[in-house]
Copies of this chain bind each other. A is one copy, B any other.
């Protein structure tokens, strides 16, 4: 899906976006290991060093992809809550799980051990927003005082299930059955 360069032009015009798309492709296709600055450059049709004008390092590229992932996750969670207001929590849980299964390499990049989010503020921010979507729903459903604790427990439960599914230790069905 990565848009190749407009042929014959010295300047690409939209390299950053193209590189991100290429990186996403590589990620989905071959896992994190397959995401390479040089290969992304190749896919984009530029020289091996062009990416450095947009990302200071390979990690930065990965972080940008992960940040996009968190934005997508947040949208998914918001949509799930909006679509099923009476059972928003389990709806979000299901959405979370489906996201993990549907974009396994991306999920593993977002939550795996490759990136140190502390080193990438944008990443941390995007992640924070996604989690806020979860917490907000729990806040509306929990009994007053226990909100903070229950929110955390719900979050951890869903998150744990998602990891177990993404690591193929349990099936999606088992996870969904354990939600509520």
Interface residues of A in 84-120 (CB under 8 A from B): 105, 108-109, 111-114, 116-118
Q: Are the CB atoms of A108 and B113 closer together than 8 Å?
A: yes
- Are A157 and B164 closer than 8 Å at their CB atoms? no
Contacting residues of chain A (138-180) with chain B, CB-CB under 8 angstroms: 149, 152-153, 155-164, 167-170, 174-175, 177-178
Least distance between A175 CB and chain B CB atoms (Å):
8
- Known contacts being A160-B155, A163-B159, is A114 close to B111, with CB within 8 Å? no
Interface residue count for A (Cβ, 8 Å)? 35
Task: Write the chain B residue with the least CB distance to A118.
Answer: B168
- Known A112-B114, A114-B114, A163-B111: A170·B157 in contact at CB below 8 Å: no
